[in-house]
DNA sequence: AAAAAAATCAGTATAAATACGGATGCCGTT
DNA sequence: AACGGCATCCGTATTTATACTGATTTTTTT
């Protein structure tokens, strides 16, 4: 059986080397390179075309983890990224998941969990620990501030705007004047501090209003 | 210790009753009502103010599970919804998570898993089985079709539109004529099959282009 | 080398959105 | 009874966006 080839990307040398030593214990895993940022990572990836995955830190100089995830995704790379981060905020986790991370581990994870994750990911499956998934889902369903920001009518109008209806069409559908809808729209834009409808829709989706 | 009070909402009577019988075995769980749709659910919730959670089916007549989730969220209800569905599509799972579901179970889940989930949720924690979380994350990170749909320039322009910049502002920033940006915008809208910018931004965020 | 796609620019006309300024009646809270 | 938030409506003017029909050049793909 050929070992799982991987690269460790982290700007902290001690952590990088420690992880490397730690993984030597496992015969089915082979670390082919240790790199300190995203740029060097992609250089190494060109040399080693058979790398299966990357253990990826988020906070790195030059080219950070998020950029690496994005680049891998855009290049349609077969390399599977496992994020190893010290941040356990839903924000970070959701972004990584969205950008193609196969797993998200905290730096205080024990090695059993790490090797388990590596093996699962090597089978092409994504694996997020229930506690990590919980944090992400909590973040996704957050609506705290936005909860009572908009009135019910405003929420309704916002939904129709996002559907691509024009002011006139919305007015017709809600049996009110176009003026009313225009005012609603203006108020919604003001409340979400957007410049125009485009930004409004973006902000609204960000805080789960749509 | 007071038992965990819950309501079962499912339009299939057999399933409803079966679940009820099944839960009788557990002393710490008490089913206070069986309902066939969302409307009846809310009637029952008014009668029983001490209900801790709802086992909720998605596909129901009159008022379906998604609407129930939304309504609970909008009312800031303390009732914790656990979705029990037969659909294991990431689409469904992500929507439920986003709308405040505390868990998502498949109808073929074994009872060990069910009672475990009920107890976890009763402690106020959300719990998504790794396999369910995996499906959701796969969906979230999906970009297959959209991957090469837009050119790089178009992606760039789209990003600036979403930021709230007008055509003129974008043109200035990219050192091209307003005409160019107008064309780009029109092409992007066409490619994403949107009616206008508002819907464009919504669709673009849905498929992770922004 | 030929074909396809991407990026650039244009005219003309209409439709829609935004920015100002107002206004009224309703409803719930203080 | 007074107040603020909400939903409703209006005028005027300007700015933006959209629809339609084009075009050229460069780059990429076949």
CATH of the domain at A173: 1.10.10.10
Name, in order, each residue with C-beta under 8 angstroms of B182's C-beta and a sequence gap of 6 or more.
B167
Pair (A134, A150) in one structural domain: no
Q: Which of the listed residues A93, A109, A140 is the one where a domain comes to its end?
A: A140
Shortest CA distance from B200: residue in chain A: A164
pLDDT bucket at B6, cuts 50 / 70 / 90? very high
Categorize the per-residue pLDDT at B99 as very low, low, confident or very high, splitting at 50, 70 and 90: confident
Same domain, B77 and B156: no
CA of A51 to C1' of C29 (A): 66
Instruction: Tell me the pLDDT tens digit for each residue of A30-57.
Output: 999 999 999 999 999 989 989 999 999 9
What does the pLDDT read at residue B141?
A: 78
Give tens-digit pLDDT for B185-197: 999 999 899 999 9
- Taking the C-alpha atoms of A112, A114, A116 and A119 in order, what is their torsion angle to the nearest 10 degrees? -140
Cα(A197)–Cα(B164) distance, integer angstroms: 8
Residue B207: per-residue pLDDT:
80
pLDDT band with cut points at 50, 70 and 90 for residue B120: very high
Binary contact (A130, B129; C-beta < 8 A): yes
Counting the structural domains of chain A, the total is: 2
Which of A91, A117, A140 terminates a domain? The answer is A140
Indicate if A163 and A99 belong to the same structural domain.
Answer: no
Q: Count the neighbouring beta carbons within 10 Å of the beta carbon of residue B125.
A: 16
Q: pLDDT at residue B161 above 90?
A: yes
Q: Which helix (H) or strand (E) holds B157?
A: helix B152-162
Interface of A with B (CB under 8 A): 73-74, 76, 94, 97-101, 125-130, 133-134, 137-138, 140-141, 143, 147, 161-166, 194-202, 205, 208, 210
In order of B68, B105, B127, the CA distances from B80 in angstroms are 11, 14, 12
Nearest to B126 among A134, A196, A197 (CB): A134
Which nucleotide has the least CA–C1' distance to A153? Answer: D7
Predicted local confidence at residue A180, as pLDDT: 93
What is the model's pLDDT at position B143? Answer: 59
Indicate if the pLDDT at residue B10 is higher than 90. Answer: yes
Residue of A70, A135, A164 to mutate for B, most B C-beta atoms under 10 A: A164
Is residue A19 domain-shared with residue A103, that is, in the same domain?
yes
What pLDDT, on the 0 to 100 scale, is given for residue B144?
Answer: 52
Q: What is the pLDDT of residue B114?
A: 95
In total, the C-beta contacts within 8 angstroms joining chain A to chain B are 101
SS3 state at B7: strand
- Split at pLDDT 50, 70, 90, the class of B126 is very high
Question: Can you give the length of chain A in residues?
Answer: 210
Query: How far, in Å, is the CA of B69 from the C1' of nucleotide D28?
Result: 49
Interface test with B, best of A137, A143, A170, A206 (most B CBs within 10 A): A137
Residue B138 pLDDT: 87
Which among A202, A158, A161 is positioned nearest to B195, based on CA atoms?
Answer: A161
Q: How far apart are CA B139 and CA B134, in angstroms?
A: 9
Whole-number pLDDT of residue A208: 75
Query: Is residue B108 located within the same domain as residue B192?
Result: no
Q: Are residues B12 and B79 in the same domain?
A: yes
User: C6 C1' – B196 CA distance, angstroms?
Assistant: 22
Chain A CB contacts of B94 below 8 Å? 140
**Å from A152 (CA) to D4 (C1')?**
17
- Distance in angstroms: CA A60, C1' C18: 43
Q: Are residues A73 and A18 in the same domain?
A: yes
- When pLDDT is averaged across residues A130-152 and rounded to a whole number, the result is 78
Same domain (yes/no): A95, A168: no
Q: Has residue A144 got a pLDDT over 90?
A: no
Task: Compare CB distances from B97 to A137, A161, A196 and report the shortest one's residue.
Answer: A137
Same domain, A82 and A175: no
Contact at CB, B134 and A125, closer than 8 angstroms: yes
Give the torsion through C-alpha atoms of A172, A177, A179, A182, to 10 deg.
-30
Q: Which residues of B sit within 8 Å Cβ distance of A?
A: 73, 76, 94, 97-101, 125-130, 133-134, 137-138, 140-141, 143, 147, 161-166, 194-202, 205, 208, 210
Whether B62 shows a pLDDT value over 90: the answer reads: no
Mean pLDDT of B8-20: 93
pLDDT at B76 over 80: no
Closest CA to B205 of A103, A56, A204: A204
CATH number at residue B49: 3.40.50.2300
pLDDT reported for residue B123: 95
Convert B80-126 into a string of H (helix), E (strand) and C (coil).
EEEEEECCCCHHHHHHHHHCCCCEEEECCCCHHHHHHHHHHHHCCCC
β-strands A53-56, A29-35 pairing: unpaired
Q: How far apart, in whole angstroms, are the C-alpha atoms of residue A158 and residue A41?
A: 44
Give the pLDDT score at B102: 95
Residue corresponding to tokens 């505390």: B102
What is the distance in angstroms between the CA of the first residue and the CA of the last residue of chain B? 49
The number of residues making up chain B comes to 210
The residues pairing with A31 across neighbouring beta strands, listed in sequence order, are: A6
Q: Which two tokens stand for residue B102?
A: 């505390």
pLDDT band at A147 (very low <50, low <70, confident <90, very high): low
Please indicate, yes or no, whether residues B129 and B161 belong to a single structural domain of this protein.
no
User: What is the radius of gyration, based on Cα positions, of chain A?
Assistant: 23
3 state SS of B153: helix
Burial class (CB in 10 A: 0-12, 13-18, 19+), A50: exposed
B114 and B154 in a single domain? The answer is no
Average pLDDT of chain B?
90
The average pLDDT across A112-119 equals 96
Strand partners, A5: A30
Classify A208 in phi/psi space as left (phi over 0), alpha (psi -120 to 50) or beta: left
What is the pLDDT, as a whole number, of residue A148? 67
Q: Do B112 and B31 belong together in one domain?
A: yes
DSSP codes, chain A: -PPEEEEEE-S-HHHHHHHHHHHTT-TTEEEEEEESSHHHHHHHHHH-TT--EEEE-S--SSS-HHHHHHHHHHTT--PEEEEEES---HHHHHHHHHTT-SEEEETT--HHHHHHHHHHHHTT--B--HHHHHHHHHHHT--TTGGGTS-HHHHHHHHHHHTT--HHHHHHHHTS-HHHHHHHHHHHHHHTT-SSHHHHHHHHHHTT--
Angstroms from A197 CA to nearest CA on chain B: 6
pLDDT at A146: 54
By mean pLDDT, which of A75-89, B39-53, B130-144 is the weakest? B130-144
Percentage above 70 pLDDT, chain A: 97
Range of the domain at B76: 4-140
pLDDT at B98: 87
Average pLDDT of span B44-50: 91
């Amino acid at each position: 059986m050929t070992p799982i080839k991987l690269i460790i990307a982290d700007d902290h040398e001690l952590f990088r080397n420690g992880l490397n030593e730690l993984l030597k214990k496992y015969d089915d895993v082979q670390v082919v390179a240790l790199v300190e940022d995203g740029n060097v990572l992609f250089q190494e990836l060109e040399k080693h075309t058979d790398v299966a995955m990357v253990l990826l830190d988020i906070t790195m100089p030059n080219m950070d983890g998020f950029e690496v995830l994005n680049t891998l995704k855009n290049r349609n790379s077969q390399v599977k990224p496992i994020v190893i981060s010290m941040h356990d905020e839903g924000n970070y986790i959701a972004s990584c998941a969205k950008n193609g991370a196969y797993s998200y581990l905290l730096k205080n994870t024990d090695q059993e969990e790490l090797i388990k994750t590596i093996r699962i990911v090597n089978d092409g499956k994504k694996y997020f620990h229930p506690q990590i998934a919980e944090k992400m889902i909590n973040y996704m369903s957050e609506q705290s501030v936005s909860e009572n920001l908009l009135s019910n009518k405003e929420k309704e109008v916002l939904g129709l705007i996002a559907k691509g209806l024009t002011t006139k069409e919305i007015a017709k559908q809600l049996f009110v004047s176009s003026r009313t809808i225009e005012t609603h729209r203006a108020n919604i834009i003001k409340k979400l501090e957007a410049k125009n409808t485009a930004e409004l829709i973006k902000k609204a989706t960000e805080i789960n209003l749509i």
